[in-house]
Structure 1
Amino acid sequence: MSAELKRAYEIGTEIGRGRFGTVYRCVSTETGEAFAVKSIEKALLSDDVDRECIEREAKIAQLAAAGNPHAVQVHAVYEDEAWLHVVMELCPGPDLFDRISRRGSPLSEAEAAAVMAPLMEAVAVCHRRGVAHRDIKPDNVLFDERGCLKLADFGSAECFGDGRPMRGLVGTPHYVAPEVVAGRDYDEKVDVWSAGVVLYVMLSGVPPFYGDTAVEIFEAVLRANLRFPTRNFRAVSPAAKDLLRRMLCKDVSRRFSADQVLGHPWITSGEGTRAAEEPT
């Protein structure tokens, strides 16, 4: 690790490990405040493409997070010839994936709405700044010590704008949008699709498109045959199902934007906090 980082922070235990680096808990030697630091040893990167990826991640994370209350904040970046360290806000609580898994049953609409509103606020800010996250899933939805939602891991993020489309199969099988799987150019609405899958999973406990292998999952995503099985959605309101249809819409031109999701009645009028009052 770089000497400059060690002067500024006391490095603690490992709390995570990813494709390019290891995450440690650390404490500021000046203030005593706790943070997380992602440390990447450049010698372990296989090629220039990997090096470019980790350098871009740090820059994009700073762009997306600054002033974005529901994105993990980047506090400092330290780099020398051997190391890249990104000091970030510490989010010690279980992530959304763990919360759903430990619960063993779907979230209520009130609970799901309390997650979806700040998640889409984070996504909307990113999109206004020309950043697409491209890997929204429960594992990347964290919570700080106060329980405030924080969108994390911008390792797959990309900048867009000026009519430039994005390309490349990026994301996680159950959550990736059909236009990504199809190999077509795509835009930032891939994040809305992924967030729609997160909402579906929260309300039902199962993914909308599934299979036994990645190939089978991708085939189901491409078909995009959205259904609401009675056994899983009996108590889910018409408003919630309407929002899901608009987020998980295969036609990108008709799919909601992040701002449109925030303006939907299920988010704005409290319909998401009540059970369905009529059959669908």
Structure 2
Amino acid sequence: MCESFKREYQLCEEIGRGRFGVVYRCYNPSSTEDSDTPLAVKSIDKRLFLDDETDRECLDKEPKILHLLSPHPNILQIHNLFDSDTHLLIVTDLCQEETLYERIISNGPFSEPDAAAIFCQLAEALAHCHRNYVAHRDIKPDNILFDSRNRLKLCDFGSAEWFGAGDREMRGVVGTPYYVAPEVLSGKDYNEKADVWSAGVILYIMLGGVPPFYGETVEETFEAVLRGNLRFPARIFRNVSTQARDLLRKMMCKDVSRRFSAEQVLRHPWVTSGGLANM
């Protein structure tokens, strides 16, 4: 651990491990603001990524993007950063261990008001990202956490990218099967609306319990995404409102020019009613 971190924070138990490092609980005993607030610190050994330029870029980019987007109630907030020759320490909000993915697995399909309570926060986070010209590019339930007050926190901006106000196009196949937008897979330029597609997939899964596009293999899943044939099987969606299905169609519209932006999602009646439209 960096000596400067040790002078400011008290390190507690390990709470998780991932590809890029170890996460611990910590707190700042001398800070009026943070003394009673448990935080998390991700310790990253930079020596593990000396030969991987892509991973090094992710390590450099994520803290900068989190700083740009903070503070926002639905985006993981970065509280401090310590950078030494060997380690990068990122102090952030402390969240529950359970991700949205695990909630979906344990709870099955959500009621529309319960789905809206989560989804509306995700839409707010996306709109904030896009207002600041940041595309997340890997929206999926695994990257959605919850704090101690059960507020949604969008995290893992390692694949995120800035896009300019005038030049909104991006390139590069990033994302996760089931959730990635078809234009990303096509290898063509794309814009921030790829995030909206991915958020639509999450909402579909929360309401229906299954992904809208899938196959027996990754290749078959990608083929289904590229076809973009959105359906609402009666046995699964018979109790889902027409407003919810209308929102899903507008978020997972293959024609990007007609697909909703995050701002339009926030103004949709299903969102503004908290999932109570047509109920």
TM-score for both structures, normalised by structure 2: 0.94
* Residue among 134, 152, 157 paired with 2:137: 134
What CA distance in whole angstroms lies between the structure 2 residues aligned with 1:258 and 1:164?
A: 15
Q: Which residue of 2 aligns with 1:35?
A: 39
Counterpart of 2:74 in structure 1: which amino acid? Answer: H
Deviating beyond 4 angstroms after TM superposition, the runs of 4 or more aligned structure 1 residues are: none
* Residue among 168, 171, 174 paired with 2:175: 171
Residue 261 to residue 164, structure 1, CA distance change in 2 (3 Å)? closer
* Residue among 182, 199, 214 paired with 1:195: 199
What CA distance in whole angstroms lies between the structure 2 residues aligned with 1:24 and 1:34?
A: 10
Q: Which residue of 2 aligns with 1:58?
A: 63
What CA distance in whole angstroms lies between the structure 1 residues aligned with 2:132 and 2:167?
A: 14
Q: Which residue of 2 aligns with 1:160?
A: 163
Q: Deviations over 1:111-140 (max 9, x none)?
A: 011111111011001100010011111111
How far residue 67 of structure 1 moved from its aligned partner, in angstroms, is 2.7
How far residue 275 of structure 1 moved from its aligned partner, in angstroms, is 6.7
Q: Which residue of 1 aligns with 2:102?
A: 98
* Residue among 213, 216, 222 paired with 1:212: 216
Q: Is the partner of 1:273 in helix, strand or coil?
A: coil
Does the aligned pair in 2 maintain the 1:26–1:34 contact within 8 Å? yes
How far residue 269 of structure 1 moved from its aligned partner, in angstroms, is 3.2
Q: Which residue of 2 aligns with 1:123?
A: 126
How far residue 237 of structure 1 moved from its aligned partner, in angstroms, is 0.3
What CA distance in whole angstroms lies between the structure 1 residues aligned with 2:46 and 2:40?
A: 19
Q: Is the partner of 1:261 in helix, strand or coil?
A: helix
Residue 274 to residue 263, structure 1, CA distance change in 2 (3 Å)? closer
**Does 1:243 find its partner at 2:227?**
no
Residue 245 to residue 225, structure 1, CA distance change in 2 (3 Å)? same
**Does 1:16 find its partner at 2:20?**
no
What CA distance in whole angstroms lies between the structure 1 residues aligned with 2:247 and 2:199?
A: 11
Counterpart of 2:56 in structure 1: which amino acid? Answer: R
Counterpart of 1:241 in structure 2: which amino acid? Answer: R
What CA distance in whole angstroms lies between the structure 1 residues aligned with 2:12 and 2:185?
A: 40
CA RMSD of aligned residues (A): 1.4
Q: Is the partner of 1:254 in helix, strand or coil?
A: coil
Counterpart of 2:13 in structure 1: which amino acid? Answer: T
Does the aligned pair in 1 maintain the 2:139–2:199 contact within 8 Å? yes
How far residue 48 of structure 1 moved from its aligned partner, in angstroms, is 3.5
How far residue 7 of structure 1 moved from its aligned partner, in angstroms, is 2.0
Q: Which residue of 2 aligns with 1:74?
A: 78
Any unmatched runs of 5+ in structure 2?
A: none
**Does 1:234 find its partner at 2:238?**
yes
Does the aligned pair in 2 maintain the 1:236–1:275 contact within 8 Å? no
Matches within 5 A, 1:259-274: 259-270=263-274, 272-273=275-276
Aligned pair count reads 273
How far residue 29 of structure 1 moved from its aligned partner, in angstroms, is 2.9
Identical-pair percentage: 59
Counterpart of 2:138 in structure 1: which amino acid? Answer: D
How far residue 153 of structure 1 moved from its aligned partner, in angstroms, is 1.0
Does the aligned pair in 1 maintain the 2:269–2:277 contact within 8 Å? no
What CA distance in whole angstroms lies between the structure 2 residues aligned with 1:48 and 1:24?
A: 26
